Amino acid sequence: MDIREARKLTWKNKVEKGFNTTDVPLEFGLLTAEIGEAFTAWRKGLPDAGEELADVVLYVAALAKVTGVDLATEVENKLHKNRERTYERNTNGALVRVSGD
């Protein structure tokens, strides 16, 4: 399944079930909660860690719809931008971008 199809199905489910489709701050808050749930599931080795990560993706897809962002295009653009960037380690061992915007 591609990003556009996931966004479409996520939105359809939200509308059909009466979930939030307009309150952007609420969606960001719920996304934050889902990220916490995914981390907890991973940290505890729970069997639903993958499902929790899927919830994160679905909330991001819904936020893209609510805010009018073409998520598939943005992901493609970001992947291209990341490929063009180069990094070097600084004296503390952290990777620092040295080229690319």
Round to the nearest angstrom and report the end-to-end CA distance of the chain: 30
From CA 43, how far away is CA 35, in angstroms rounded?
12
- Both structure tokens of 17: 């079930």
Check whether 64 has a pLDDT greater than 90.
Answer: yes
Q: Global pTM? A: 0.85
Mean pLDDT computed over 7-35: 97
The CATH number that domain 3-99 falls under is: 1.10.287.1080
pLDDT the model gives residue 76: 96
Structural domain boundaries of the chain? 3-99
Check whether 24 has a pLDDT greater than 90.
Answer: yes
pLDDT the model gives residue 101: 79
pLDDT the model gives residue 55: 97
Mean pLDDT computed over 30-36: 97
From CA 42, how far away is CA 65, in angstroms rounded?
28
Check whether 32 has a pLDDT greater than 90.
Answer: yes
From CA 98, how far away is CA 79, in angstroms rounded?
17
